[in-house]
Amino acid sequence: MVLTDPLGLGLATLPSRVVFGPHATNLGRRRGFSAAHATYYARRAEGGAGLIVTETASVHESDWPTECSPLAERSGEGWALIADACHRAGSVVIASLGHAGSQGSSSYSQGPLWAPSRVPEVNSHEVPLSIGDAEVNALIAGFRSAAQLAREAGLDGVEINAGQSSLLRQFASGLTNQRHDRYGEDRMLLTRQVIEAVREEIGDAIVGLRFCADELAPWAGITPETAVSLSTEFAETVDYLAVVRGSIYSAAATQPDLHEAPGFNIGITRSISEALKAVRGAAAPAVCLQGSIVDPTMAEQQVLEGVCDLVEMTRAQIADPDLVAKVRRGDASRVRPCLLCNQRCVVSDPRNPIVSCVVNPSAGHETADAHHDPDRSVAHVDAVPALVIGGGVAGMEAARSLARRGHDTRLVEASGRLGGTLLDAMEIPGRSRLGLLLGWLAAELDHEGVTVEMNRHIGVGDLEAFNGPVVAAIGAMDAPTTLRDGDDGSVVMLSAADVIAGRSSVADGEGAVVILDPIGGPIGVGVAEILAGDGPVALVTPDLIVGSQLAMSGDLVAANARLAGRGVEIVAHSEVVAVRNGAATIQDRYTGAMREIQTRGIVDAGHRLPRTTDLAEAEGLVFVGDAVAPRSIYEAILEGRRVSSDAVTQHHALEALR
Amino acid sequence: MSSAGRYEMLFTPLELGPVLVKNRSVFSAHLTNYAEDGMPSAQHVAYYEARARGGAGLIITEEHSTHPTDWPYEKLIHGFNPAVLPGYRAITDAVHRHGTPIFAQINHNGGQASGLYSRLAVWAPSPVADPLFREVPKAVDLAEIAEIVESYADVAARCIEGGFDGVELQCSHSSIVRGFLSPATNKRTDAYGGSLENRARLLMEIIEAVRSAIGPGVALGVRLCGDELIDGGTTLDEAVAVAIMVEATGRVDYINTSIGVATASLFMVEASMAVKPGYSLFIPSAIRAEVDLPVVAVGRFKDPLQADRALTEGHCDLVGMVRAQIADPDFMIKARSEHADDIRLCLSCNQECVGRMGLNRWLGCIENPRTGRESEPVALRPGPPRDVLVVGAGPAGLQAALAAARHGHRVSVVEASDEPGGQVRLAARVPGRAEFGDLVRNQLSELALLGVTVKTGTWVDATYVADHAPDVVVVATGSTPASPWWAPGEPDPTHPLLCDVRHVLDGTASPSGRVLVVDEMGFHHATSVAEVLADRGCDVEVASPSLVVGQDLGITLDMEQWWIRASAKGITQRSSALVTGLIPGGVSLQNVLTGEASEAFYDAVVLAIPADAADGLFHELVATGVEAHRVGDALAPRRAHSAVLDGEHVGLAL
């Protein structure tokens, strides 16, 4: 495949055309890169990534956008570790350099934000400082010295960030640049000056540009039409352009979740490729396609069609670091799929979560998880027969991991289908992509030789004859709906899971369907989307907004828009406290005020409970996933992996006692 | 001992078991987010030492986690990791240098956590998800309960080894012990659930194990929640009953108190200025009536008189004063030396202390730039004293004057209006926000001590500067109300009256009838003025293009109270609503979620939108070669803390 073929870029040769793009990781400490960073990038290098771009380092101390974001002047040591680790695996590795400008934070720097003009960022509302010549010069000097430091550390070059979150884009855009000086008259001037300075400093080393080609704000922003001509300004000076979209009004658009179909930048990227080739022919800079590209087949096709020369597959390689290696050896179908769920990989959040992945929890935790990452450690020691009870995500990963370690593994599922709760979750509108994980896990169980037995219930009595580690991955069950002030039974109560999966439905009749959503995640919103077509729907949330927990994945505003567009009534900061005579009594959490809504059905989208079981009485059994406490795919996979070593250890310990 | 003067009870020593405290003020446990990778830091050491030096009677550190399953926020001290010991010794040595005792609070947050950092299931009595963290916990089995008890004993012993004079068990607002005590979160049917005796069993086992581990020579305290303020939660009667049980063990030396649950009713745990001082005093009062152990009161104790009175009236034996000593580490020294007026009073604004905790940032203070930065040297520019002219007496100008004067410069402050204070003066005119005005009061009182006077009613222009010829000018001229993009040009008489929130507060505009307040700031500006106008009889609506009106009020724990007051005053709120223009008798709007356009009718529209920097003087001076620096809104219009920081940074660099 051409995707896995080498490509010359500047003086370097990339071992493949697949890019691991710059993204926040929260692996940094004290504004530098850490050893954990090196391990994280090296893992992708070992898997065949062609070009690795380290996370954006600030080129000036005025920029401290998130607590763990690196500062270039403190990054030399960390970059050197990363360069060494990635070069050993054969990848080319460069540093992303930038300044977040008004999209940063003053919380850490304790000083004003920098910007072309005093236009506040829409969420922080913070008015930035309109910078003068002194600051502009300091910024250019910052890019220059950061590039020099990156080269001294052994990196192969730099990528200049003029993408979604950058001061350079703020200068380039009419949305944020309202200056009357030369930087206002020629909004690309600053970007050109930065590139010139960097090029002068590092010569023939790689200089790339992350370039915003659509701010999705046509009234004043960069549009695809203007971007094509703007891009040619860099035809002579950069080695590649990475084409992205998004601005202060569309932060989530750069790395959208699974609601948006992959490949949304293909059109604009093709136009830019063509424009650059028209200007410079074969000497044109390479073009990198970005935008939810997670499928190797799609990536290959775009390269073949001339849309791009490089493909950024960042989330795909977080999910499966061995993506390139698998594609190269003809095993593309065995690439663990990225679900585009954004639940663990989008980490620009003040809590500083470490970058990770629901389908690959070892991402970001490469060192801590080394001993139970089934894709790394396949030690065949003391093979024993192993039994996994329950064929949901946790059970499937447990069985896969046990089998990878050489244990003779049997997976037993009580129902007729593998998948457990995920079978329901993938039925939520816009979330069918979650099902890719099930297909992959099932195929891997087959590859690893796991014996899968369906429609078989295992009780504690069945275990007496079994001598080997036993994993209980029996999942969760619906919790009873309890209302503080009582329920006279006049309204039908349904579980969200049953409604989503179509196992039960709300009868026609008078009044609204009332959804109880104490969580604020995808489930309550999803139930509302399913039901919104058939009569009035009211979603009751304890929060001020619906879907409060969707902020991290980038679906918060979109989810609110979907529900608003479909006429779902949001009953905010409230709780259903009783049901009487066909009506739900709803109390305002703040004022205590009560109101009633005529109701034809109540759907409980609340927390679930671990499934009750007599297996708890069995000795030496290890519970994983929702059977311990109902949580997400992440914990199911993580505990499924851990158990592959823990359950065997525990089994041997018990054996020793006997 | 009678040298205590005005605050006799506050300065009467007290024995807490084996530990003597020299006065009744407690710098009680609170999060700081100063830990790094689970370890105590130099930031901790200097922070606690500053309060010890400033006269705190007793310091109780933030919580130390007892077990790896407990990691609810990133910067929690991992007491369960033996590597904390050198950090413990650094803290206790520093505090002991000032003769101040220091206790460690130890805790397991139970179900009030998630697995985000630990990557483990959270532990709790029952699988009841916390309303903030929203993660179903694992109901602990008997072996795990034994493990928890043992972990408390281990960590308590480590604390004593690290030099602490005592240990406090946090069983109050975020704790697995609270989880067991509270009927709202304990649904067990075994020996640890059901009756109060059963629900308190874990606490009793922990007390026994901890006392056995630490021996009799150090203090042991228990902090209890007097009222969880949640449905089906612990209320005062049970809290008193538990206090009696705690005393009956004979193993405990004092009882500390709190109100609310950190994750469900946090706005009452660390109440802002919207809640009256002393609001939770009924809790220690009720407990003290039933037990002989010393009892600690907490809750918005701001000045020594208030603290002394609570003690004198017998409500409590000690007073927790956290925010008061965050704002002014020398609070107790100043109180004792009869200089109480010099105390930099806490505003209870919650902006940089409480507000930064929820955002995982290190603890600071809106009016004390040194808070959290005690371990860093003050960056002074060396050089001879200079003549400094500060133009503008808002918080930025006053702080610049303070920082410059403290370091020997000759400072004069000139203010155009008749009173100093800038926008802070306006902000403090709003009902329930008067304490915000203490920001400027505190600055002026310190300036007076430094001999700096503020000349009011004087407009400074380039000529004035040339005439007075200072060495350097600090331009703190603030900002002016801006015009919105959707209403350019001259006012149209058929349109609603258009004015800024400042015009309402300074009296230059008096909207009446049906009023729309436009919130593009997301903080107190719009909501405060909405309340003022509603109080005056206007029919008020607040609109914001954000998903929530006043979106940042939640950060300072003001959101709940705002909704309660707004509801009582008949103020309506319209979110996701972008005002796009004025029309005869009203405004045009766009719903930012659906794109739908609409019209709404008002007599007046009041704007809370970003202001324009008043930086004309600055540019004029720079152009003529005068050394000038901008601070506060004149640099970029932001919140008060930014103004204070700008002033401090520039004042120190002169």
Indicate the pLDDT class of residue A134, thresholds 50, 70 and 90. Answer: very high
What is d(CA B306, CA B308) in angstroms, rounded to the nearest whole number?
Answer: 6
Question: Which pLDDT score, from 0 to 100, does residue B2 have?
Answer: 41
What is d(CA B213, CA A381) in angstroms, rounded to the nearest whole number?
Answer: 42
Question: Which pLDDT score, from 0 to 100, does residue A380 have?
Answer: 63
Indicate the pLDDT class of residue A617, thresholds 50, 70 and 90. Answer: confident
Helix B524-535 to helix B559-568 angle, to the nearest 10 degrees? 20
Cα dihedral B362, B366, B370, B375 in deg (nearest 10): -10
Question: Which pLDDT score, from 0 to 100, does residue B380 have?
Answer: 76
What is d(CA A21, CA A317) in angstroms, rounded to the nearest whole number?
Answer: 10
Q: Is the distance from CB of A175 to CB of A247 less than 8 angstroms? A: yes
What is d(CA A642, CA A647) in angstroms, rounded to the nearest whole number?
Answer: 8
**Is the CB of B636 less than 8 angstroms away from the CB of A593?**
no
Q: Is the distance from CB of B84 to CB of B160 less than 8 angstroms? A: no
Instruction: Give me the residues of B, 69-98, that contact A with CB < 8 A.
Output: 73-74
User: Is it the case that residue A377 has pLDDT exceeding 70?
Assistant: no
Q: At B412, which helix (H) or strand (E)?
A: strand B410-414
Q: What is the mean pLDDT of residues B393-413?
A: 97
User: Is it the case that residue A51 has pLDDT exceeding 80?
Assistant: yes
Question: Which pLDDT score, from 0 to 100, does residue B239 have?
Answer: 97
Mutate to test the interface with A, among B69, B123, B134 (most CBs of A within 10 A): B134
> Please, is A278 exposed, middle or buried when counting C-beta atoms within 10 Å of its C-beta (0-12, 13-18, 19+)?
exposed
Confirm or reject contact between A106 and chain B (CB < 8 A).
yes
Confirm or reject contact between B138 and chain A (CB < 8 A).
yes
Distance from CA of B337 to the nearest CA of A (A): 34
Q: What is the mean pLDDT of residues B196-224?
A: 98
Q: What is the mean pLDDT of residues B398-416?
A: 97
Confirm or reject contact between A594 and chain B (CB < 8 A).
no
> Please, is B132 exposed, middle or buried when counting C-beta atoms within 10 Å of its C-beta (0-12, 13-18, 19+)?
middle
Q: Mean of the per-residue pLDDT values for chain B?
A: 96
Give pLDDT tens digits for B350-381.
999 999 999 999 999 999 999 999 999 987 77
Q: What is the mean pLDDT of residues B59-69?
A: 98
**Is the CB of B636 less than 8 angstroms away from the CB of A127?**
yes
* Of A29, A110, A351, Cβ closest to residue B116: A351
What is d(CA A68, CA A356) in angstroms, rounded to the nearest whole number?
Answer: 15
Q: What is the mean pLDDT of residues B233-240?
A: 96
Half-sphere exposure of A521 (CA within 13 A, CB side): 18
Give percent above pLDDT 70 in chain A: 99
What are the φ and ψ backbone dihedral angles of B312, each rounded to 5 degrees?
Answer: -65, -40
Q: Is the distance from CB of B621 to CB of B473 less than 8 angstroms? A: yes
What is d(CA A418, CA A208) in angstroms, rounded to the nearest whole number?
Answer: 45
What is d(CA B344, CA B352) in angstroms, rounded to the nearest whole number?
Answer: 15
CB B457: neighbour CB atoms within 10 A?
A: 10
The separation between CA A11 and the C-alpha centre of its own chain, rounded to angstroms, equals 33
The separation between CA B296 and the C-alpha centre of its own chain, rounded to angstroms, equals 20
Give percent above pLDDT 70 in chain B: 99
Contacts with A609 from chain B: Cβ below 8 Å: 127, 136
Confirm or reject contact between A351 and chain B (CB < 8 A).
yes
> Please, is B382 exposed, middle or buried when counting C-beta atoms within 10 Å of its C-beta (0-12, 13-18, 19+)?
exposed
A16 secondary structure, DSSP code: S
Which position has the token pair 């600090």? B474
- Specify the higher pLDDT residue, A619 or B466: B466
Contacts with A122 from chain B: Cβ below 8 Å: 545
The B219-225 sheet, strands edge to edge? B254-258, B219-225, B166-171, B102-107, B58-65, B25-27, B318-320, B296-297
Point out which residues pair with B59 in neighbouring strands.
B27, B102
Fold that domain A480-606 belongs to in CATH? FAD/NAD(P)-binding domain (3.50.50)
Fold that domain A379-470+610-657 belongs to in CATH? Rossmann fold (3.40.50)
The B410-414 sheet, strands edge to edge? B454-455, B410-414, B387-391, B472-475, B628-630
Distance from CA of A632 to the nearest CA of B (A): 10
User: Is it the case that residue B249 has pLDDT exceeding 70?
Assistant: yes
What is d(CA B316, CA B310) in angstroms, rounded to the nearest whole number?
Answer: 7
Q: What is the mean pLDDT of residues B432-447?
A: 97
What are the φ and ψ backbone dihedral angles of A8, each rounded to 5 degrees?
Answer: -75, 135
Which position has the token pair 């990038």? A41
What is d(CA B490, CA B493) in angstroms, rounded to the nearest whole number?
Answer: 10
Contacts with B542 from chain A: Cβ below 8 Å: none
What is d(CA B388, CA B473) in angstroms, rounded to the nearest whole number?
Answer: 6
Instruction: Give me the residues of A, 445-474, that contact B with CB < 8 A.
Output: none
**Is the CB of A67 less than 8 angstroms away from the CB of B360?**
yes
Question: Which pLDDT score, from 0 to 100, does residue B8 have?
Answer: 95
Give pLDDT tens digits for A436-459.
999 999 999 999 999 999 999 999
Indicate the pLDDT class of residue A656, thresholds 50, 70 and 90. Answer: confident
Instruction: Record the tokens describing residue A123, joined without a space.
Output: 């969420």
* Of B116, B361, B649, Cβ closest to residue A353: B116
Q: What is the mean pLDDT of residues B519-536?
A: 97
Q: Mean of the per-residue pLDDT values for chain A?
A: 95
Q: What is the mean pLDDT of residues A10-35?
A: 97
Residue spans of the domains in chain A: they are 2-368, 379-470+610-657, 480-606
Burial A215-236 (b: 16+ CB within 10 A, else e): bbbeeebbbbebbbebbebbbe
Distance from CA of A522 to the nearest CA of B (A): 13
Q: Are strands A609-610 and A476-477 parallel, antiparallel or unpaired?
A: antiparallel
Confirm or reject contact between B187 and chain A (CB < 8 A).
no
Nearest to B538 by CA among B576, B577, B499: B499
Residues 6+ apart with CB under 8 A from B157: B213, B214
Burial B556-565 (b: 16+ CB within 10 A, else e): bbbbbbbbbb
Question: Which pLDDT score, from 0 to 100, does residue A437 have?
Answer: 98
CATH class, range A2-368: alpha beta
Indicate the pLDDT class of residue A465, thresholds 50, 70 and 90. Answer: confident
Question: Which pLDDT score, from 0 to 100, does residue A379 have?
Answer: 64
Instruction: Record the tokens describing residue B574, joined without a space.
Output: 């319209």
Question: Which pLDDT score, from 0 to 100, does residue A507 have?
Answer: 84
What is d(CA A542, CA B554) in angstroms, rounded to the nearest whole number?
Answer: 14
The residue in chain B having the minimum alpha-carbon distance to the alpha carbon of residue A544 is: B548
Q: Are strands A493-495 and A594-604 parallel, antiparallel or unpaired?
A: parallel
Question: Which pLDDT score, from 0 to 100, does residue B1 have?
Answer: 38
Mutate to test the interface with A, among B71, B119, B571, B594 (most CBs of A within 10 A): B119
Half-sphere exposure of B555 (CA within 13 A, CB side): 18
User: Is it the case that residue B4 has pLDDT exceeding 60?
Assistant: no
